[in-house]
Chain A
Amino acid sequence: MSPTHDGARAADRGPERVPELLVEKLRLGELAPADADAVRQRLAAEPGGLARLAALDADDAATLARHPRLAAARAEAGGPPRASSPRWLRLAAPAVLAVVAALLLFARADADAPSRGGLRPKGGDVAPRLVIYRQGERRGRARRRRAGQAGTALQVAYIAAGRSYGAIMSVDGRGGTTVHLAAGPLEQGGEGAAAALVRARRRARLRALRADDARAEDARSRSRPSRCGSPIARRRDRRAHRDRGRRGGARGAARRADGAGGPLGGGGRRQ
């Protein structure tokens, strides 16, 4: 039994209302067995105490029916923008870079590669990967904060690590996807979508792209379509650019993934 404010034991307290937190923890099964028994006894002694449990069950169901997911809940509430800093965040996939949320490299091994006779290549297996440079940098990699600034010219390099085919795409702060390297429309999937990679251990650089501003606090987006990649990528970029201009007002947010800006849809309006 727990002591009260003045040290008296709980059993000596009158029929006080059981604190809400304890009732919640009882329902969630997060009380020690002895404490759970004590809370149940107190609820039984409290007028309408046991009905509180049923009321909480009903409230849970109603809340989840109205707001089945966290991000969608905010959009459905449809309230006015908050005076405090807006930190909407699509919690399912936190992004890292301010503008280029993710550069994805898909690469597959060449199924028809000649057998190596059981021998491993010198240096062991190297995984394919992407490297991002700021324009003009010869060494090192773009620091994430600087790479994320609007207008920054970036160059993407890949290391195929022996893989024969691959595709490179990026997802920006507003969820728009740009294909930078692919042989054909990715909707086709399968082998037809992958481009032949330079199978060198040294880095193969693509043409540069310019980071856009994923924030669109006014109707004018300052994004620029990618000028690298396939014609399909450029056509998609133009379409996405046109769509962004139409939507306007979406708070894309080029901020940290810790919620201070919500790179995946700010303002609760793009859910």
Chain B
Amino acid sequence: MLDVDALYQRYGPMVLRRCRRMLGSEDRAMDAMQDTFVQILRHADRLDAEAPSSLLWRVATRVCLNLVRGAKRRPEVDDGALLERIASLPDDPTTRRVLDRIFAREPDSTRVMAVLHYVDGLTLEETAAEVGLSVSGVRKRLRTLRERLAQDDSEVRP
């Protein structure tokens, strides 16, 4: 049986840091951390298949992205540190558009990949290792994302 207390003692602070950095608010980070562990309980069998830190990091990222996406639909809600970090990224219009599209239309797995690569700074290989895909698979997914962006741009600017 999963020892939740032991799991929290070992990985809880890491998950909280992750959530705090993405969301900015301590209270929202606590919520997200709790939600992350709830998700882990549902898929406890996956803990044996990969390093727990990778799974927890990925789940925490997805939980936070969902919260941010939800916040974007309610403009009166503070959308947290993640969007601030995006805004403070080096002047790279492609990156900004990529990330904006992430919140709007992309599936969870692509969003997590894009955050790991574009925001966290992991290489393609490191990102692939974290999400359990091949490097070519990650590259293809991110390339498709950029192509969709290019299409969006051409529609906006005929």
Contact = CB atoms under 8 A, between A and B. Distances in A.
B70 interface: yes
B42 A259 contact: yes
Interface string A89-117: 10110100000000000000000000000
Interface residues of A, number: 37
Contact of B13 (A5, A10, A63, A74): A63
A19 B41 contact: no
Contact of A21 (B5, B9, B27, B57): B57
Interface string A36-72: 0000000000000000000010011001100101100
Contact of B4 (A19, A63, A70, A84): A70
Interface in B90-122: 116-117, 120-122
Given A2-B126, A87-B38, A19 B13 contact: no
Given A21-B130, A91-B37, A79 B31 contact: yes
B59 to A, nearest CB: 13
Given A19-B121, A59-B17, A258 B41 contact: yes
A143 interface: no
Given A30-B52, A258-B42, A10 B123 contact: yes
Given A2-B126, A91-B4, A21 B42 contact: no
Which of A2, A64, A92 has the most chain B CB within a 10 Å cutoff?
Answer: A2
A69 B124 contact: no
A119 interface: no
B5 A77 contact: no
A170 B81 CA distance: 45
A28 B30 contact: no
A192 interface: no
A63 B12 CA distance: 8
For the side of the interface on B, what is the size category?
Answer: 35 or more
A25 interface: yes
Interface in B55-92: 57, 67, 70
B125 interface: yes
A137 interface: no
A89 B38 CA distance: 8
Contacts of A82: 31
A88 interface: yes
B13 A21 contact: no
A230 to B, nearest CB: 33
B19 to A, nearest CB: 11
Contact of B10 (A3, A28, A79, A92): A28
A24 B12 contact: no
Nearest to B58: A21
A91 to B, nearest CB: 4
A238 to B, nearest CB: 34
A10 B41 CA distance: 36
Given A5-B117, A63-B13, A258-B42, A74 B34 contact: yes
Nearest to B27: A79
A70 B8 contact: yes
Given A25-B53, A74-B30, A92-B5, A60 B125 contact: no
17 contacts: A3-B123, A3-B124, A3-B135, A19-B122, A20-B21, A22-B126, A30-B54, A69-B8, A70-B5, A73-B34, A74-B30, A84-B70, A87-B38, A89-B38, A91-B41, A259-B35, A259-B41
Interface of B: 4-5, 8-14, 16-18, 21, 26-27, 30-31, 33-35, 37-39, 41-42, 51-54, 57, 67, 70, 116-117, 120-126, 130, 135
Given A24-B53, A63-B16, 12 more contacts: A3-B125, A5-B117, A19-B120, A19-B126, A20-B21, A20-B120, A25-B54, A70-B5, A70-B12, A73-B12, A91-B37, A259-B35
Interface of A: 2-5, 10, 16-17, 19-22, 24-25, 28, 30, 56, 59-60, 63-64, 67, 69-70, 73-74, 77, 79, 82, 84, 87-89, 91-92, 94, 258-259
